[in-house]
Structure formats: C-alpha cells, structure tokens
Structure 1
Amino acid sequence: MLFHFSEQADIEIFVPREKQNRPDFPPVVWAIDEEHEFTYYFPRECPRIVCRKDETTTEQHTQLFFNNSMADTIVTAESDWYSKISNQIIFRYSFENEGFELFDKTAGYYISRHTVTPKAVDTYGNLIERLIQKGIEIRFTTNLAPLREAILASDFKGFGIHRFDNAKR
C-alpha cells in the first residue's frame, strides 16, 4: 500500500496536479510508502528536517547530526509548531501500488500520472505519540536554519527538508 496524508477528511478522488515548487514537472498524484510515512505526521505547512542514519552514515555525520542519541531517525521542528503538531488531526488515504512508479527511493515518494481513488481513509491524531511509537526522536528548536546550514554544508545524504519556506528567517 501507498499513502497520501491530508488535513482534508473528504477527498474522494485524487487528480494529478502540478506541484507549486516544481512548475516544470508534469501533474501527478503523490504518495509515500509506509517506511517513510512518518515524515507526514505533521501539519502540512510545518517546517521540519528529517535525518536518517543508515550503514553509509559516517562517524563524523553521526557526531554532527545524531550526537548523544540512539535513534536512527530524528525529526526536528521549530518550537512554535509544538502546539499545532500536538493538536493536529490528519487523514491517511490508502492507495493500491498499481499505477504508481517510484520517484525517490530515499524519501519513499511515488507518483501516478492518473486519477486515483483511495481504498480507505484513516484518522490520525496524537502525532507526537505516533512518532515516538515508531522509534523516531523528535526535537524542537527555536530556529531550523542552523541545522539546515550544517546539513547543506556537509556531504550527508540522509536528510529531508520539508516546508522550509515556512521556517523562521
């Protein structure tokens, strides 16, 4: 199964559409696999940075981005979003894999160029608890910019930066 997360509870069909930050990309329906779905346990507009450790993570990157943590995945969000994350209800739409193609293995993204009808929709609350249950460490900081700059200045590849346009400047 593949999934799409939304703050809307009543989507009956997903029609391919252009991505706002990629006007040169064809209209598609986006989905994510179960392994990576936790990256969407947040309000849609919430800026966040995901760091994932794997067998290719160097000791230097472990010290820089996972210092003093046993977690393989850390998500950092800005403190101002804590209450919104704590109270957010989101909806997980389930899709069959058929008709989707892998777009980004690292992020778990899939795309379909066709209209898709969800097979089910589940309501998700208690998002911070869901992250903790998956073994994800969640951190809060007053400003994401220093972490983003450190990641981009390194050769670390195990990261995702989401909705950074909404982060403090």
Structure 2
Amino acid sequence: MRPAEGEVLHFSEDPTITRFVPHVAPTSAEADPYVWAVGHDRAPDYWFPRDTPRAMAWTQPETTPADRDRIIGAGCGRRVHAVEYRALPAMRDVRLYGYRLPAAPFHPIGSARHALVATEPVEPLGPPEPVGDLFALHEAAGIQLRVLPNLWPFWDQVIGSTLGFSGIRLRYAAARR
C-alpha cells in the first residue's frame, strides 16, 4: 500500500479514526503537536504492527557495491527490513489500516525528512483500507524481509555502512547480546 499522487498515508491498527488532530505523541522527540504521515518512499517503514521493532536499510546513490552485497545481499534487491522472530505472530495476526490523507497540509520534518507532518486537523479522503498480508506486501514490493534472533548486530552493520537506514521502535528490541 502506497499513497497515490496528492496523497500521504497514515497507518494505524484503529479503523475508527474520522479526523486526525495534531497531538504530541508520548514517544516523540518533537514538542509541537502534529499529525504524522508518510509519502511513497517511506510507506514500507510502517508495514508492521505499531510497536514492532524494525531495522531497515536501502541503497542510495552513495552506497558502495561492497556494502550493498554485504548487508542486503548480491542480487537481493535494493531494500531489506529486519525484525526479530518474536515479531512474527503479531505480523501474521495484526489488522493494519492505511488512511489516505490529502498531501497539501503536510510538510517534511527533521533533517532526515522521512516523515511528513501537518499542524492542522486532517480528515481522511475516504474510509481506512485494510493493508492485508504484511509478508505478501513486502514480497510484492521487492523488499527483503529478514527475521533475526536479535536486531542489534544487523543494526550496527547498517549504521556503519553507506546504506540509507531507519530504525523504528528499537527500544522494544531484545537486549544486546
């Protein structure tokens, strides 16, 4: 599930949201209230149950062939998402929904510019859409989904590489070994 032209997406396990009102998320480093969304490129970062720790990496123009082959794998695409084994039941069972929102009120935030925010209430363009099978979604998008006993060795390799990367909910990951 990706946004169409002129849209952004908000993913949620709650299918009853009729209006998104700016708020300060309890886990946010931002002090200002926002409505959060993502565009086409970062939508796959949220094809997970909300609290699932995940480490993601992708090629970018400055990625070296050595880093690509070492971390993603030779001939394995341009992107890899990693979760821990204990995330698999939730990934199989979650009912995740995508809300299509108008892109106009949103602007990028932060230096990484991975998220989009609005400072005014936003109403969805229609009812929420079930995202469906998260494994099938990754496969259809050509995104490698890696399952590991512990995310930290992978994460350490990724952040020391020339790949683009993002880690979400890593505070919920298993302890470093």
Q: Same fold (TM over 0.5)?
A: yes
Residue equivalent to 2:135: 128
Give 2:124's match in structure 1, choosing from 118, 139, 142: 118
Aligned to 1:42: 48
Instruction: Select which of 12, 16, 20 maps to 1:14.
Output: 20
Q: 1:164 aligns with which of 158, 164, 170?
A: 170
% of aligned pairs identical?
Answer: 22
Q: 2:32 maps to which residue?
A: 26
The answer (yes or no) to whether the contact 2:60–2:163 under 8 Å persists in 1 is no
Contact 2:59 2:163 in 1 (8 A): no
- Contact 2:62–2:162 at 8 Å: present in 1 too? no
Gap regions ≥5 residues in structure 1:
none
- AA at the equivalent of 2:136: E
Instruction: Flag structure 2 segments of 5+ consecutive residues without an equivalent.
Output: 1-6
Q: Which contiguous aligned blocks of 4+ residues in structure 1 show a shift greater than 6 angstroms?
A: none
How many angstroms does 1:39 deviate by? Answer: 1.2
Give the equivalent residue in structure 2 for 1:58: 64
1:148 and 1:38 map into 2 onto residues whose CA distance is 18
Aligned-residue offset at 1:80 = 0.9
Match in the other structure for 2:4? none
Q: C-alpha offsets along residues 58-100 of structure 1, whole Å, 9 cap, x if unaligned? A: 1332133123342101000001111210221101001111111
Is the 8 Å Cα contact of residues 107 and 160 (structure 1) preserved in structure 2? no
Tell me the C-alpha RMSD between the 2 structures: 1.8
TM-score, scaled to structure 2: 0.87
